[in-house]
Amino acid sequence: MPTRPFSAIRLPASLAMFGLIAMFGLIAISMAAAAEDSPYATEVVAFDPGVGGVPGYDFPEAALGEPTRTTGGSLFPGAVTPFQPAFLASELVSLGVGGSIVLAFDHPVTDDPANPFGIDLLVFGNAFFGDLAPPAGVAGGLYAEGGRIEVSQDGKQWFEVPDVEADAAMPTVGWLDVGPYADAGGLSPADFTRPVDPGMGPQEIAGLGHFELLEMYDGSGGGAGVDLATIGLEWIRFVRISNDGDVSTPEIDAIADVSPAPPPTVPGDLDGDGRVDGIDLGLMLVAWGTDDPEANLDGLGLVGGPDLGLLLAGWTG
């Protein structure tokens, strides 16, 4: 039986149309994903290495993207912890005396009271704690190299951030489930868009063990926190970090836009919209008699009457 080349095969019109719809749907999804704002800097606007910076650490694009989670490459691998900071030239940019770097986000970073502790912007260097009991990981003094932080809406008019240094507290944490000198990453990554409580100062930190520090970080990946309200700006897009000192050489890893705190959990809110209403009731009825963990509000047995009672008790309509 003769065969036809593939190009000659004609698909039914309905199937061809379905294929086109699916193709355009995938394209739309891909475009939407590509257009999504990055929480980290996406552009180096300007860079001046200054004088006396660390040789070789003059690649400004190292400050783009998320902070370093695992450092050292294949030769000296290590998870980034409060005692073991990032140290490769591909991970950090060094600012010598008089040096500066200007970074830009692809979206406005807003002053958002819903952010944890009111912090809107995080700056990551490679500061770290000295270890009072090596290798146990007990926080001693902070090894930091400062750096002035300024912010701007248009990249022309700048506002200095008071009382916050770039390469300083809080040291970066890459993982929440590894030891102070782990040679590999873990399974639980820290959140680089979540700040540490700024009320935790040297007195509260000194003497804490590694895992006590991680508990204090409460899921955060660290960073120096900036509240735009202290400057009186509703939003910014540019960040300038400068070395105005005469000795230290700050190293910069990344900057991040802080994510708002998730809304409080409402018992019975199965669809996560902050309300308990008919939609949630419908979802519970769909899960009725199963062990669906979302609808099993009492955590006992299968979804049933007790769970319905808990949902109705939290009803908001």
For the chain, domains (ranges, CATH) are 43-257 (no CATH), 264-317 (1.10.1330.10)
Beta strands in 181-261, from DSSP E residues, in sequence order:
224-226, 235-242, 251-252, 254-257
Pick the more confident residue, 245 or 94. 94
Q: b or e along 96-132 (b: 16 or more beta carbons within 10 Å of the residue's beta carbon)? A: bebbbbbbbbeeebbbbeebbebbbbbbbbbbbbebe
Q: Does the structure show a pLDDT above 90 at 173?
A: yes
Instruction: Name the band, by pLDDT with cuts 50, 70 and 90, for residue 92.
Output: very high
% pLDDT > 70, the chain: 88
Instruction: Name the band, by pLDDT with cuts 50, 70 and 90, for residue 17.
Output: very low
Q: Which of 152, 184, 170 is nearest to 80 (CA)?
A: 184
d(CA 190, CA 174): 5
> In the prediction, which pLDDT does 10 show?
42
Instruction: Name the band, by pLDDT with cuts 50, 70 and 90, for residue 35.
Output: low
Lowest mean pLDDT segment, chosen from 104-118, 121-135, 167-181, 277-291:
277-291
Q: Say if strands 235-242 and 100-110 run parallel, antiparallel, or are unpaired.
A: antiparallel
Which two tokens mark 118? 């009111």
Q: Could you report the per-residue pLDDT of 96-115, keeping only the tens digit for each?
A: 999 999 999 999 999 999 99
Q: Does the structure show a pLDDT above 60 at 26?
A: no
Lowest mean pLDDT segment, chosen from 49-53, 225-229, 267-271:
267-271
> In the prediction, which pLDDT does 65 show?
98
Pick the more confident residue, 15 or 315. 315
> In the prediction, which pLDDT does 13 show?
47
Q: Does the structure show a pLDDT above 90 at 129?
A: yes
Q: Which of 166, 171, 160 is nearest to 228 (CA)?
A: 160
> In the prediction, which pLDDT does 29 show?
42
Cα 115 to the center of its chain, rounded Å: 13
Q: Which helix (H) or strand (E) holds 143?
A: strand 139-143
Q: Does the structure show a pLDDT above 50 at 22?
A: no
Q: Does the structure show a pLDDT above 90 at 314?
A: no
Place of tokens 């809304």: 263
% pLDDT > 90, the chain: 68
DSSP string, 2-54: ----GGG----HHHHHHHHHHHHHHHHHHHHHHHSPPSB--EEEEEE--BSPP
Mean pLDDT of the chain: 88
Mean pLDDT of all residues in 239-250: 90
Mean pLDDT of all residues in 233-245: 96
Mean pLDDT of all residues in 198-226: 94
Place of tokens 């955590």: 299
d(CA 204, CA 138): 13
Which two tokens mark 271? 């669809």
